Amino acid sequence: MASNTCLVMRIVSASVSVAKKAGTIVRDIRSKGSLGVVEKTGKNDLQTEADRKAQRCIVASLTRRFSGLIVIGEEELPKEEQIDENLIENGFSEEVDKSVCPEALKDVKMEDVVIWVDPLDGTKEFTEGTKYLDHVTVLIGVAVNGKPVGGVIHQPFYKFDTETQLYVGRTMWGVVGLGAFGFEHKDQTQGKRILTTTRSHGTEAVQETLAAMEPDEVLRVGGAGHKVLLVLEGRVSAYIFASMGCKKWDTCAPEALLQAVGGKLTDVHGNVYRYDKDIKHMNTGGVVAAYRKHDFYIERVPQSIKDVLPSQ
Ligand code: AMP
Ligand code: MG
Ligand code: MG
């Protein structure tokens, strides 16, 4: 049983183990080969059986464990009479449990918390064979009074073990005021300005904004979680997406980890997003995320782009 007395730490602890279980579900569905792809209402917006099953696992596991907890998942799913018990994960993370609760989070109550779940971020990449599988992440973000304070990013297809022929996977977590764990930050940009952005949802505005930043390199990869991971690890200088399209479940967990190490994720105006339960899902002002020098990127976004991307 999770033993930390602090609610946020108990939720993050459970989320670490639930995200790993969701990752197992995602891997299993891929190895069986039948992805069950459906096109959602938006253009270029897919959903697979892995998105659906991973979300059922996360939502059911967390709401059963934490009575009264509000959990908002990306996928709209029919309400199930009976939850498949095989989808329930009851574990916790010893590492999180033995960590000290930041002073600012000691008195958080259940009604202050909203969980934002992207059961499979990078669905497009998930459906495209093996080349982009490491772009896929499972995201569980913990918001308290509208602010992201904790998060888990699980990467189910991290490292292929040639002996077992299985992916090893890895799980990163963070709490604002405590830090972020499960990865190493090492600046690998060698003084270059390396930007990361979408590979499948590009627009003219996205292009124009990147060009205005005069990058040395642009890395086009899938997933909001994966792109923030590149920022967290120091493989790129910033994640820039000057377009609507990302939603609260894409940014809540990554933003919490980034904030936990002193980084920043905002819209193109430099305003932070809020994660209250009734907030609109779309991040209308785009995404600018950087480990350091966040202001520089905000200043470089052309005014004409800022004019058409409203803050929340
Ligand atoms: P990407 O960087 O294209 O992988 O997008 C990051 C996240 O935002 C993913 O969850 C995408 O599904 C979502 N996203 C970004 N742009 C769009 C869009 N135009 N339509 C639907 N989803 C989008
Ligand atoms: Mg997503
Ligand atoms: Mg998703």
Domains 7-181 and 194-308 share a fold: no
Q: What is the set of active-site residues?
A: 51, 123
Question: From start to end of the chain, where are the E strands?
Answer: 38-39, 46-47, 70-73, 113-121, 137-144, 147-155, 160-161, 166-167, 170-175, 179-181, 194-197, 217-220, 238-241, 264-266, 287-290
How much is the average pLDDT of 145-162? 96
Confidence of residue 1 (pLDDT cuts 50, 70, 90): low
**Residue 40 CA, closest ligand 1 atom number:** 21
- Length of the chain (residues): 312
Give the whole-number percent of the chain exceeding pLDDT 90: 90
CA 160 to chain centre: 22
Q: How confident is the model at residue 123 (pLDDT cuts 50, 70, 90)?
A: very high
Ligand lying nearest the CA atom of residue 205: 1
Looking at residue 90, the DSSP 8-state letter turns out to be: -
The reply to whether ligand 1 has any atom less than 6 angstroms from the CB of 96 is no
Ligand 1 centre to CA of 17 (Å) is 26
Q: Do 277 and 111 form a contact (C-beta atoms < 8 A)?
A: no
Please state which of the ranges 14-18, 36-40, 56-60, 121-125 shows the lowest mean pLDDT. Answer: 36-40
Return the bridge partners of 151, or none: 141, 174
**Ligand number with the minimum distance to the CA of 245:** 1
Q: Which of 224, 164, 210, 227 is nearest to 302 (CA)?
A: 210
Please give the radius of gyration of the chain, using alpha carbons only, rounded to the nearest integer.
18
Q: Indicate whether residue 136 lines ligand 1 (CB < 6 A).
A: no
Which CATH number applies to 7-181: 3.30.70.260, 2.140.10.10, 3.30.460.10, 3.30.540.10? 3.30.540.10
Contacts of residue 55, defined as CB under 8 A and 6 or more positions apart, other chains included, come to: 22, 73, 74, 75, 77, 117, 119
**What does DSSP assign to residue 81?**
S
Distance 39 CA to ligand 2 centre (A): 14
- What are 263-293's pLDDT values in tens digits? 999 999 999 999 999 999 999 999 999 999 9
Token pair in block for residue 157:
């297809």
pLDDT digits (tens, 9 = 90+) for 228-268: 999 999 999 999 999 999 999 999 999 999 999 999 999 99
Q: How far is the CA of 24 from the centre of ligand 1 (A)?
A: 23
Do residues 279 and 106 make contact, with C-beta atoms less than 8 angstroms apart? Answer: no
- 153 within 8 A of 229, measured Cβ to Cβ: yes
**Domain boundary assignment for the chain:** 7-181, 194-308
Atom of ligand 1 nearest to the CA of 74: 10
DSSP state of 41: S
Mean pLDDT of 23-46: 90
Query: Please, which pLDDT band fits residue 110 given cuts at 50, 70 and 90?
Result: very high
pLDDT at 226: 98
Phi, psi of 68 (to 5 degrees): 90, -5
The tokens describing 120, both together, are 């499979």
Per-residue pLDDT reduced to its tens digit, 51-104: 999 999 999 999 999 999 999 999 999 888 888 999 999 999 999 999 999 999
Quote the ligand 3 centre to 226 CA distance (angstroms): 12
**DSSP-assigned letters across all residues of 210-268:** HHHT--SEEEE-S-HHHHHHHHHHTSSSEEEE-SS--BHHHHHHHHHHHHHTT-EEE-T
Neighbours of 184 (CB within 10 A): 8
pLDDT reported for residue 223: 98
CATH 3.40.50.300 is held by the domain 194-308: no
Nearest CA to ligand 1 atom 15: 245
Q: Strand, helix or coil at 282?
A: strand
Q: What is the pLDDT of residues 170-198, one digit of tens each?
A: 999 999 999 999 999 999 999 999 999 99
pLDDT at 185: 97
Ligand 1: which residue has its CA nearest to atom 2? 198
Of 113, 164, 169, 180, which Cα lies nearest the Cα of 138? 169
Query: Ligand 1: which of 51, 123, 195, 246 to mutate, most ligand atoms within 8 Å of CB?
Result: 246
| In contact, 250 and 224? CB cutoff 8 Å | yes
Q: Is 263 in the pocket of ligand 1 (CB under 6 A)?
A: no
* Distance of alpha carbon 192 from alpha carbon 190, whole angstroms: 5
pLDDT at 193: 98
Most informative mutation of 198, 206, 231 for ligand 1 (most atoms within 8 A of CB): 198
**What pLDDT shows up at residue 225?**
98
Please give the pLDDT value at position 2. Answer: 54
Q: Closest ligand to 51 CA?
A: 3
Is the torsion defined by CA of 247, 248, 252, 255 positive or negative? positive
Q: What is the spatial distance between Cα 31 and Cα 65, in angstroms, rounded to a whole number?
A: 29
Give nearest CA residue, ligand 1 atom 9: 223
Does the pTM surpass 0.95? The reply is yes
